[in-house]
């Protein structure tokens, strides 16, 4: 199963909204997670079940979608949010990740 | 606090073998499925292998099937990855990661805790 993220790079000003997309090559129902990875750090789980925030994740992060089309929205970008974001399906083997979207400062 | 600490990464020649370890603490290790995920330098994340909470089920990515073996020792709160016939394309930072929910809740994943990784370099 292939996970495709768009765009590859997103340039956003602090305080603005960021919208990231993820498409699955076949339905994954709601078995979709989003991770954030900052330079030199391990990934961190943000969203699972397509729309449930993980423990400790701020409310400015939200996820939506089901089936094959998913969106991660960051409502008001903070300086600490500039990072790479990966989607991942965990519907079935193999547990595939998208190629990532880099959110950079505009 | 959940803590996962990987070790064992070194420089190894093509065709060589290596064992990675992951020491877990801060949670009931034998209740959770565990994964290995790797990241080649400057690249994205690639899931490598999964082992169920009791070790009865294992899964592998096609890219490592037949060469890598995942195992666990619940008495030592430890996860392992035995890697054989290593190739230059196996060069990566290897992370161990923990499943969000205990046992099996209808699917494995997502991964709610990750270690800091151990670097494997395959080069002559």
Beta bridge partners of residue B36, listed in sequence order: B49, B96
* Mean of pLDDT values over A16-20: 97
Taking the alpha carbons of A5, A6, A12, A18 in that order, is the dihedral positive or negative? negative
DSSP state of B45: E
Q: Which of B33, B47, B57, B109 to mutate to test the interface with A (most CBs of A within 10 A)?
A: B109
Distance CA B81, CA A58 (A): 34
pLDDT value, residue B105: 77
Q: Which of B59, B107, B114 sits opposite A43 (nearest CB)?
A: B114
Q: How far is CA B116 from the centre of its chain?
A: 12
What size, in residues, is chain A? 106
Task: List, in sequence order, every beta strand (DSSP E) within B2-91.
Answer: 3-7, 11-12, 18-25, 34-39, 45-51, 58-60, 68-73, 78-83
Residue A92 at interface with chain B, using a CB cutoff of 8 Å: yes
Residue in B with minimal Cα distance to A48: B110
Asked if B50's CB is within 8 angstroms of A100's CB, the reply is no
Contact A29, A66 (CB under 8 A): yes
Q: What is the pLDDT along chain B (124 residues), one digit of tens a residue?
A: 999 999 999 999 999 999 999 999 999 999 999 999 999 999 999 999 999 999 999 999 999 999 999 999 999 999 999 999 999 999 999 999 999 999 887 889 899 999 999 999 999 9
Residue A99 and residue B2: Cα distance in Å, rounded? 27
pLDDT digits (tens, 9 = 90+) for B82-114: 999 999 999 999 999 999 999 887 889 899 999
State whether B110 and A48 contact (CB < 8 Å): yes
Pairing of strands B18-25, B78-83: antiparallel
Closest in B95, B107, B110 to A42, CB measured: B95
Residue B120: predicted pLDDT: 98
């Amino acid at each position: 199963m292939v996970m495709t993220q768009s765009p590859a790079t997103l340039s956003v000003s602090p305080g603005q909204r960021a919208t990231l997309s993820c498409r699955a090559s076949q339905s994954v129902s709601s078995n979709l997670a989003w991770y954030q990875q900052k330079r030199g750090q391990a990934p961190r789980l943000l969203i699972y079940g397509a729309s449930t925030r993980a423990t400790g994740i701020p409310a400015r992060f939200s996820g939506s979608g089901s089936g094959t089309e998913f969106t991660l929205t960051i409502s008001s970008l903070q300086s600490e949010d500039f990072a790479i974001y990966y989607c991942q399906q965990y519907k079935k083997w193999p547990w595939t990740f998208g190629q990532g979207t880099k959110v950079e400062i505009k | 606090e959940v803590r996962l600490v990987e070790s064992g990464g070194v420089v190894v020649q093509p065709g060589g073998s290596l064992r990675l370890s992951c020491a877990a603490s801060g949670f009931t290790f034998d209740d959770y499925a565990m994964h290995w995920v790797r990241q080649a330098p400057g690249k994205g994340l690639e899931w490598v292998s999964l082992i169920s909470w009791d070790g009865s089920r294992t899964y592998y990515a096609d890219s490592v099937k037949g060469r890598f073996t995942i195992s666990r020792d619940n008495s030592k709160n430890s996860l392992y990855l035995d890697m054989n016939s290593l190739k230059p394309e196996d060069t990566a930072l290897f992370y161990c990661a923990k499943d969000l929910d205990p046992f099996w809740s209808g699917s494995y994943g997502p991964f709610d805790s990750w270690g800091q990784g151990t670097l494997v370099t395959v080069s002559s």
